[in-house]
């Protein structure tokens, strides 16, 4: 719904088209006001009744967008349609089943909406809803009776309504509605209430359980702090392992580059080495690094099966022999660093599993 123009939406929903604008309805209301003024002037323009009438606001429209039943009735006369009061004693005595009618216009105070039959099904076309609401044939009479009990005035629309696409389509198919459409603003109001309620709960927790660093935490808060500490510890471990994996990958890359440089002739310029390295694709480098890393893992598994040999290998790889001095090659030093890194990771993981 746009503003308070429920009468305009009511008419357009009934006719299923943009047939009436606020300007057109205002023109009808002004015409009705002028006709009433002329009738009042017949009693004399100097009479007290006429002066009082001129001072009163229009009963056919107001600044909010409300239009009277007279405006709606006159607008429908253009289409050859007539309104009959459904909840009048005269109409009720006729005993007409509502299901045999075609449409209704309902009003309560300053709100108007349409109930219409499209195809073979009834729909509540209230402009305050997010969409049409399906009304079953068995529920229609109860729905209208409930509106009457709430104080609504119900009018039966008599005459032939203009053809519309919705009526033609629903003559061939039937609608199934799984969920009733919400009122405009209902979902936003619910989410706002939920946010307010969560804010009230947080405020109540803060008031009832203040934490200024001097008091002791209760059991739930203490468990929560422990969970946070464990999560931080796991994150730190993951970061350390990620850094270690990156270091190993960089070491493997450096080892591979040293192997390539060692296999080149001594008289080849450095630019030739760079061009050969650049000629290797990233996929080829990745496969070679992976093969090298798998080979190292196989060696570590063999060392795990023979603990004594593993200790000796670790000792010999991590500690240079006496008298060796600086004769250890760069590849041997890289291998020793890798073995020490992997051994520290394995020990760390074993200790965490035991915990």
Per the annotation, the verdict on 126 as an active-site residue is yes
Cβ(133)–Cβ(126) under 8 Å? yes
Give the separation between CA 110 and CA 120, rounded to whole angstroms: 30
> Integer distance in angstroms from the first to the last C-alpha of the chain?
64
- List, in sequence order, every residue forming a beta bridge with 61; answer none if it has no partner: 67
Q: Which of 74, 87, 111, 164 is catalytic?
A: 111
Tokens of residue 291, six digits? 């093969």
Q: Is the dihedral of CA 123, 129, 131, 136 positive or negative?
A: negative
**Active-site pick, 6, 12, 106, 339:** 6
The one catalytic residue in 12, 124, 126, 339 is 126
The 8-class DSSP code of residue 174 comes to -
Which positions are catalytic? 6, 111, 126
């Amino acid at each position: 719904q746009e503003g308070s123009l429920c009468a305009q939406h009511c008419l357009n929903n009934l006719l299923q088209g943009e047939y009436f604008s606020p300007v057109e309805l205002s023109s009808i209301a002004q015409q009705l006001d002028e006709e009433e003024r002329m009738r009042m002037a017949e009693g004399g323009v100097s009479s007290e009744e006429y002066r009082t009438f001129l001072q009163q606001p229009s009963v056919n429209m107001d600044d909010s967008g409300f239009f009277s039943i007279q405006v709606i009735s006159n607008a429908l006369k253009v289409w050859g349609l007539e309104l009959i009061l459904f909840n009048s004693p005269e109409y009720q005595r006729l005993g007409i089943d509502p299901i045999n009618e075609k449409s209704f216009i309902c009003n309560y105070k300053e709100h108007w909406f349409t109930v219409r039959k499209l195809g073979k099904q009834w729909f509540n076309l209230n402009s305050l809803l997010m969409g049409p609401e399906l009304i079953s044939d068995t529920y229609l009479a109860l729905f209208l009776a409930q509106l009457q009990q709430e104080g609504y005035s119900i009018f039966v629309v008599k005459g032939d309504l203009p053809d519309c696409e919705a009526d033609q389509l629903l003559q061939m198919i039937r609608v199934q509605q799984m969920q009733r459409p919400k009122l405009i603003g209902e979902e936003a109001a619910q989410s706002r209430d939920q946010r307010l309620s969560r804010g009230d709960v947080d405020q109540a927790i803060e008031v009832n359980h203040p934490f200024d660093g001097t008091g002791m935490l209760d059991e739930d808060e203490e468990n929560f702090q422990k969970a946070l500490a464990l999560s931080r510890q796991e994150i730190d471990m993951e970061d350390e392992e990620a850094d270690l994996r990156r270091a190993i990958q960089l070491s493997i890359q450096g080892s591979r580059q040293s192997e390539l440089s060692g296999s080149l002739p001594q008289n080849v310029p450095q630019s030739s080495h760079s061009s050969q390295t650049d000629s290797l694709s990233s996929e080829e480098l990745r496969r070679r690094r992976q093969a090298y890393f798998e080979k190292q893992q196989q060696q570590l598994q063999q060392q795990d099966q023979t603990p004594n040999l593993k200790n000796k290998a670790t000792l010999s790889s991590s500690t240079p022999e006496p008298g060796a001095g600086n004769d250890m090659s760069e590849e041997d030093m890289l291998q020793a660093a890798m073995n020490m890194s992997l051994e520290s990771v394995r020990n760390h993981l074993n200790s965490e599993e035991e915990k």
